[in-house]
Structure 1
Amino acid sequence: MPENKTSSGSVKFAKDIFAGTCGGIAVTLIGHPFDTVKVRLQTQPSAKPIYSGAIDCVRKTIQWEGPKGLYKGVASPLAGQMFFRASLFSAFGQAKSWYSVDSNGRPCIPTNLDLYKAGAITGFIAAFTEAPIDFYKSQLQVQVIRSQSDPSYKPKYTTVPQTVRATIEHNGFRGPFQGLATTIVRNTPANSIYLGSFEVLKKRAAESYGCTQQELANDHPFTVLSAAGVGGLLYWMMIFPVDVVKSAIMTDSIVPAERKYTGMISTAQKLYAEGGIGRFYKGFSPCLMRAVPANACMLYTVDKVNALLK
C-alpha cells in the first residue's frame, strides 16, 4: 500500500509540473509585453521620465527596439517556467492535501480559510524560484531606460546568459536572489488571495452547477476563466506597491557598491520621497490590463490540462 501511495504521489507531482508548465508558458506569452511596460514605468527616473504613460512606453519601445522589445527578457521566464510552476502548483497541491485530512487522518473538505492558507504557503515556497527569474527578466527590461537616460551608457549585457555571468562574477550564486526578501513579502499574502479566491470561487460555482470542480474546465470554461481573472485582479490590487519596491531593488546595479537601494524599508522611503503615494502606483494600469487575461489564461490552462490528464 505505501508503494501505491508513493507511485500515486509521483504521478500527481508529474501532472502538476506538466500542467503548471503549460499554464506558465501561456501566461508568459500573453502577459510579458504588459509586464515589460509595467517594469519600465515602475523603474524610470522620476526627475526626467522617459515615458509619459503606458501607451507612450509601448510606442517608444517599438520605435527603439521593434516589436520584439516588448518581449525583452522573455527567455528568463520561459526557461524558468518548469521550475517555477513546478514549485507553485506542486506546493499548492500539497498544501491543499494537508488541509484535506482532519486531525484523525480522515479525508475532509478544506474550508475556505484552509484554501487561503494553502495559497499563502504556496506563495512563500514559490518565491525562491520566482525571484531569480524575475531578477534576470527585470535587469534586461531596464537596459533601454539606462541607455536613453545616459547616451554614454553602454548596455553591459543583452542576453540572459550574459546577465547570469555578470551577476555570478560580482555576487556569486547569491546574485540572482537580489530582491528575494521583497518577493517573499509580496508573494505570501498575494498568492493567498490569488489562489485562495480562485479555489473558493470554483467551489461555489461547482456547487451551483451541481458538478465537480474537475468538470468545470470542460463544461463551464467561462466560469473558470472568470474565477481566475478575479483572482489575478485581486492579487495585483492588493500588493502592487510592494511590487514597485521589488522592481526597484531587482533593477538596481548588480555591483553592491553602486546600489541605490539596499533594503525594503529604505527603498520604500526613497521611493516615497520621489513622488509620495503615487510613486508606488507607477505602471499600475498596464498591470491591471494584464492581470485578468493573463491570469485567466494561465489558471484555466492548468485546470484544463489537469482535466485532460485525468
Structure 2
Amino acid sequence: MTANDSFVRRTALNSIAGTFGGFAICMVGHPFDTLKVRLQTQPSGNPIYKGLTDCFMKTMKWEGIGGLYKGVGSPLAGQMFFRATLFTTYYQMTNFFAGDARKGLRLTSPEYFISGMTTGLTVAFVEGPVDMFKSKMQVQIVRSKAGHPVVYRNVFHCAYVIWKGHGIRGVYQGLSATFLRNIPANAIFFGFYELSRDFLTPKGGSVRDLSGGALMLSGAFGGLFYWLLTYPTDVIKSAMQSDDVIKSKRQYDGLVDCVRKLYHEDGWRRFFRGLTPCLMRSLPANATMFVVVEKTRLFLNRYF
C-alpha cells in the first residue's frame, strides 16, 4: 500500500466513523442543547423561563416533544461533514506527530492537546454555520414570545434565507466567537479523552483493549472538561449567533462588545447561564459518541 493509499484509506475510515459518531451525539444530546441555548439567550430583563425545569415544561407545552429537537436538521445534516472533518483532522494530526518512527504508538499528552487545538481551528469553519442555523431555530420561540415575527419555517429554510440575503458573511455570523470557543475547547476535549484512556488502560495492556464502558467513561470525562473549562465562551458564541442577522439591528457590535454587554446584564453569572443542561448533555452524549467512533474505527480497520 502506498503512502497516498494509506492517507486516503485513513481519511475514509475516520470520516465514516465520525459520521456515525455525529449521528449518535445528535440524537442523544440535542434536547439538552435546545434547553441550554434557550436559557443562554433569553432576555435578562424579562426572562421567559425561570430555570431548567420551567424551560423544559414550557417547551413541551408550547411545542411538544418536537420542540426539544428544534433545529435538529442543521446539526443532523451537518454531522455527515462536520464530525467527519473533526475526527479526520484529529487522527491525521496524531498521525503527523507519530510519523513513521512512532506509528502505532501512543503520543505524549502535549501532542494530543495540540492535535485537538488544531482540530478546533479547522472545524470552526464547518461547525460555525451548523451551530448558527441551529441557534436561530432554537431561539425563534423565545423571540416570538417577545413579539417578533416567526421568520424561518425550518432549519433548511433558515439556511436558505440567510445565504440568499447575506451571503458568506451571514452564514459565518459569530465566527470570532466560534474560534474563541473551539480552539481551547477541542484541545481540552481530545486531551482529557486521551489522558483518561491512558489512565484506564491496565498495566501491560493497550488502549485498543479498552471495554465499551471504559471508552464511555473516557468520552464522558472529555466532554465534562470541555464544558467546565470553556463554558463562558459558548455563551458568548450563542449570543452572537442568535443575534439579528441584519447587522444594523444587532445588539452586539463584535466579540469585545458582546462580552462587555453580557457582563453588564448579570456579572459573571451571565456567562454560566444554561450550564446545568449542558453538563447533563455532555456526559451521555460524548460518552456515546466516542464509543460509536472507536468501535466503528476498529470494525472498519478489521474488515476493510
| Cα distance in 2 for residues equivalent to 1:300 and 1:178 | 33
Using the TM superposition, give the Cα deviation of residue 130 of structure 1 relative to its aligned residue in structure 2, in angstroms: 0.4
The residue aligned with 2:231 is: 240
Matched letter for residue 233 of structure 1? L
**Following TM superposition, where does structure 1 have runs of at least 4 consecutive aligned residues deviating by more than 3 angstroms?**
none
SS at match of 1:110: coil
Q: Does 1:301 align with 2:299?
A: no
Q: Does 1:157 align with 2:148?
A: no
The residue aligned with 2:51 is: 53
After TM superposition, the score normalised by the length of structure 2 is: 0.95
- Paired positions, count: 299
The residue aligned with 1:41 is: 39
SS at match of 1:261: coil
The residue aligned with 2:207 is: 213
The residue aligned with 2:276 is: 285
The residue aligned with 2:81 is: 83
Residue 249 of structure 1 contacts residue 262 of structure 1 at CA under 8 Å; is this kept in 2?
no
Percent sequence identity over aligned pairs: 42
Gaps of 5+ in 2: none
| Cα distance in 2 for residues equivalent to 1:82 and 1:168 | 20
Structure 2 residue corresponding to 1:255, chosen from 230, 246, 264: 246
Question: Alignment RMSD, CA only?
Answer: 1.2
In the TM superposition, what are the counterparts of 1:74-153 in structure 2 within 5 Å? 74-101=72-99, 106-107=101-102, 109-150=106-147, 153=148
Matched letter for residue 112 of structure 2? L
The residue aligned with 2:187 is: 192
| Cα distance in 2 for residues equivalent to 1:158 and 1:209 | 55
| Cα distance in 2 for residues equivalent to 1:15 and 1:215 | 19
The residue aligned with 2:221 is: 230
Using the TM superposition, give the Cα deviation of residue 213 of structure 1 relative to its aligned residue in structure 2, in angstroms: 1.8
| Cα distance in 1 for residues equivalent to 2:21 and 2:204 | 26
| Cα distance in 2 for residues equivalent to 1:79 and 1:227 | 27
Using the TM superposition, give the Cα deviation of residue 222 of structure 1 relative to its aligned residue in structure 2, in angstroms: 1.0
| Cα distance in 2 for residues equivalent to 1:193 and 1:149 | 37
Gaps of 5+ in 1: none
Residue 196 of structure 2 contacts residue 221 of structure 2 at CA under 8 Å; is this kept in 1?
no
| Cα distance in 2 for residues equivalent to 1:236 and 1:109 | 25
The residue aligned with 1:168 is: 163
